Amino acid sequence: MGELEQRFHEFLKYLKQRNFTQDTIYTRSGCIRYFLDFCRKEKVSRLNAVNVPFLESYIRYIHAFRKKNGDCLSNARKRNYLISLRVFFEYLMEHDLLLTNPMDRNELMKKEKVMPKSILTGREVVRILQVPDTTRYAGLRNRALLELLYSTGLR
């Protein structure tokens, strides 16, 4: 077992001692194992061989990777890989095994913003806005609230 794998196992023990959830440990473990597989392919087993250029080649590898069906990894998955690696290197720095975090120089891709799908048709919106009795104060208030919710996109 190389130095990187040894530190990885220590990191997993650390996460368990700090009471991280099983899901978090599982996710971090999988993401870092993916990095360790890349290191094995590149014949890198020592911690001091992991530098900024090496990490940049790993990031290019993640971006170029294709699943069995030919699709590339989602931005969320790529981001998860890199965040897990950043946390791993932060752990190594805290335990004086690294002087700097080589992931600090790499920017993470931004989260994708997904707009909610339209739920109501225009006709349905008009019907809902006509429900409150606007001849009464409570009806005016309710209509104003419905219009506010609709016009601002609040859910």
pLDDT score of 100: 79
DSSP letters for the chain = --HHHHHHHHHHHHHHHTT--HHHHHHHHHHHHHHHHHHHHTT--SGGG--HHHHHHHHHHHHH-B-TTSPBPPHHHHHHHHHHHHHHHHHHHHTTS-SS-GGGGSPPPPPPP-PPPP-S-HHHHHHHHTSS-TTSHHHHHHHHHHHHHHHHT--
**63 pLDDT above the threshold of 90:** no
pLDDT score of 18: 92
Q: Are 111 and 79 in contact (CB under 8 A)?
A: yes
pLDDT score of 111: 63
Q: Which residues pair with 66 in a beta bridge?
A: 72
**pTM recorded for the entire structure:** 0.66
CA proximity to 94, closest of 14, 151, 2, 22: 14
What is the amino acid identity at position 32? I
pLDDT score of 77: 87
Highest-scoring range by mean pLDDT, 38-52, 88-102, 136-150 = 136-150
Confidence category of residue 52, pLDDT binned at 50, 70, 90: confident
Residue with tokens 């990031």: 59
Residue range 86-124, pLDDT digits in tens:
999 899 989 888 887 777 766 665 666 666 676 778 888
What is the amino acid identity at position 44? V
Q: How far apart are CA 148 and CA 154, in angstroms?
A: 8
More confident residue, 60 or 155: 60
pLDDT score of 112: 63
Q: How far apart are CA 146 and CA 155, in angstroms?
A: 11
**6 pLDDT above the threshold of 80:** yes
